Structures are given as structure tokens and as C-alpha cells.
Homo-oligomer: A and B are copies of this chain.
Amino acid sequence: MVDTKTKDKEVIKKLEGLGNQIIQQINKGDSPTVELPVRSLGNIYFDQKSRTIKLGDKVSERQFLNIAHTRKFMQTALVANEIKKVINQSATVSIRDLYYALKHTIEGTQENTFENQSESDPLIEDLEASLNLLREELHLAASAKGIIAGNMVVKDGNDTIDLSKMGSGGWSVPSNVEEDRVEIKKMDASYVLFIEKDAVWRRFNEDRFWQKNDCIIITGRGQAARGERRLVQRLNREHKLPIYALMDADPWGMYIYSVIKQGSISLSYSEEKLATPDTKYIGLTVGDVDKFKIPKEVTIKLNQLDLKRLSELQSYEWFKHKKWQAEFDLMREKNIKMELEALSKKGIRFITEEYLPRKIKDEDFLP
């Protein structure tokens, strides 16, 4: 395992490389220029080999002496410089901190370096993509809202944390779960259950599902943040744990699943390090309604927005598998969606005591 200091040195080397390149260009009398990967939709594709969304090879140039680029060029250099300072202070900051730290009126002018955080955020992404570094490696904290519990012990800093002893609360997943920060010390789980909703996670935690079934339960409270996704990838890669996703049976839940599995377009440049292509979809499905005799009253009719989103999902390359297409067709045919909480109609603990165990036993997954 690479420790934080060694890793930080490498990151700083990359940042300095960028700066040195600019200095050399200036010394040679060339127009200072940085090359940046194009992050627009036209340069994003689904990579069949890694089974993740990826960024293509297209690059664009940002030139200091091009008046359309000058401001952004200056800002890019400021961002890179501030990140270096943050790393040297062994600190982690939010992207909003970074924006404020950099905002000032340029001496002798009325002009601010940045007017809005919407100016600094994309430049951070530029640096991540061009230096091939994760945001976390740049000491920038993303928001993290996940909760985890289960048969596993981690070491975070000097603290050893037993995730099977977190009471009814759970451990709040940190923003940075890279190897040098969060070490997996002990693993007694045989799979990971990724639960869309935190209320449902609490059902599984209250019923000690993870204890009875030797697993880990994690929720991202809706769309999963980077921390949760990266941790799940590590559990899959380092400990070969299967990952099962438990989502609402609607286009939104299924999309959240697809982000865990193959990534999102907006983070395409980092997906190899965030996505977990081995993830399987355990439920809910519209097919479950008949299979588990779920009363019609607790299903919900699709609305116009659902139908539109359903068509979009159905057209995505990573949903082309015939099993998924059949599920989408069935959803449209039956014209229903269903929330996880709807299973409470069959009894409070139906989801933990009957639904999930049977799904796993029958290996009744979508790919």
C-alpha cells in the first residue's frame, strides 16, 4: 500500500509538471498552452472492455494568449497552485473552500479572479482529467452522505472502527476512502447490499440483516456519492465481494444502479476508479409484483416524466441486455412503478425476511 506522503509527492510532482511546462513555454517565447481532455458528450463512450463509461482521446488546448482563454488559463493556474498549497498543509478542503480561498480582486484592477463557484468547479474537473487523478488525491472533499454497517473492520487514521458495532446509527462514509486513508482490516462479509434509500437501510440495520446474512449494508441516500461508490469498488476488487443493488422499481432507481455499475457521463474521466461493473440488480423489478403477489394498490402509475426517462434508459448502450429490455418493456406494458417501501404492505419485515433471502437464493438478478 502506498502511504499518503508518497502519494502526495507524486501528485505534487504532476502539478509541478504542469507549472514547469508553462514556465518552459514562456522562456522559449511560446504562447503558454495546456492540453486538456475534452469532457463533452462527443468524447464520452461506453468501454466494452472495462465495462465503464470512459473519456475518449480528444484534447483541446487552453492558450494564455488567446483572449477567449486568458481568464480560464489564469484560473486554471490558480486552482493548481492552491491545490498544491492544500496538499502541503496536509489538509482536505471542499471545492467551495477552494473557490473562496482563491477569490480576490486582482491588484490594480476591478476584476475578481472568480465570480462564482461555477467558474472554479469545471477547472478542478479539467485537472482531474488531465492529470489522471481522483479528486480525493487532490485533497478535495466531495460531499459524502452514505451510511454503512456490517461484518467488517476498517482503520481510518489511528481509529479502528468495527462496522458491526455501530448501533442504530451506522458509520458515516467519509469523502476520501482511498487505501491510504481507509484500510480494510478485517472482512467477514460475503457480499455487499447497496440500498438506494436510507429509510430502507434502517429497516435492514434494525433487523440486523447484515449479521444474520454475513454481509455489508450501505446506502447512498439516493444518488450515491463518490465515497460510497469508491468504497464499494474496493470491496469488490480487493475482497471479491459480489455487489447487489436494491432500488425502487422505477427509471430513477434503475439509473442510480447504472451509475454504481458503469458510471455517469459527468464523471466519465474517473469512472475506471469509481464504477463497479460486477454490480448486480437484485430488485425491485416490475416482475416482482406477480412473483411476490404484491397488491396492485401499492404500485404507482407511470407519469409522463417516467415514460420519457424510461425511453432514455432503454436506449443506453449499457442497458441493451435483453433481460433489461424485457424489464423496461414490462414496465411500460403494465404501466407501473413501485417503491421499496411498498413491500411493507406484505408485512414490516417482509423485505428483510422473505423478499431479499429468496431473491439471493434464486439468484434472481438483472445484469
Is A282 located at the chain interface by the 8 A CB criterion?
no
Whether the pair B143, A198 counts as a contact (CB closer than 8 A) is: yes
In the complex with contacts A103-B345, A141-B202, A169-B167 CB distance below 8 A: no
Alpha-carbon distance A86/B206, docked complex (angstroms) = 13
**Residue A315, interface by CB 8 Å:** no
Q: Which of B154, B167, B199, B343 contacts A161 (CB 8 A)?
A: B167
B residues in contact with A166, CB < 8 Å: 156, 159, 161, 171-172
Partner-binding segment picked from A37-45, A52-60, A88-96, A257-265: A88-96
Task: Judge whether A341 is part of the interface by a CB distance below 8 angstroms.
Answer: yes
- B145 x A156 contact (CB < 8 A): no
Task: Give chain B residues whose Cβ lies under 8 Å from the Cβ of A297.
Answer: 103-105, 112
Give the distance in Å from the alpha carbon of A339 to the alpha carbon of B349 in the complex.
Answer: 44
Contact partners of A105 in chain B: CB under 8 A: 297
Cβ-defined contact, B168 with A93, below 8 A? no
Q: What is the CB-to-nearest-CB distance from A123 to chain B, in angstroms, rounded to a whole number?
A: 17
Copies in the complex: 2
Interface centre among A86, A100, A104, A165 (most CB of B within 10 A): A100
Q: How far is the CA of A343 from the CA of B101 in the complex (A)?
A: 8
- A interface with B by C-beta (< 8 Å): 86, 89, 91-94, 96-101, 103-105, 112, 141, 143-145, 147, 154-157, 159-161, 165-176, 181-182, 198-199, 202-203, 206, 221, 295, 297-298, 339, 341-345, 348-349
Q: In whole angstroms, how far apart are the Cα atoms of A56 and B315 in the complex?
A: 57
Contact of A91 among B94, B199, B348 (CB under 8 A): B348
Q: Which of B89, B159, B221 contacts A348 (CB 8 A)?
A: B89
Q: Assess A170 versus B168: contact at CB under 8 Å? Given A86-B348, A345-B103.
A: no
- Given contacts A182-B167, A348-B101, is CB(A141)–CB(B94) below 8 Å? no
> Knowing A101-B345, A341-B100 touch, does A165 contact B176 (C-beta < 8 A)?
no
Residues of B within 8 A of A143 (CB): 198-199
**B156 and A160 within 8 A (CB):** no
Residues of B within 8 A of A89 (CB): 348-349
B residues near A161, Cβ cutoff 8 Å: 165-167, 169
Partner of A206, one of B92, B198, B339, B342: B92
Which residues of chain B are near A206, meaning CB under 8 Å? 91-92
* A92 partner residues in chain B, CB cutoff 8 A: 202, 206
- Cα distance A262–B86 in the bound complex, in angstroms: 39
Contact call B175/A202, Cβ cutoff below 8 A:
yes
CA distance A243 to B101 in the complex (A): 29
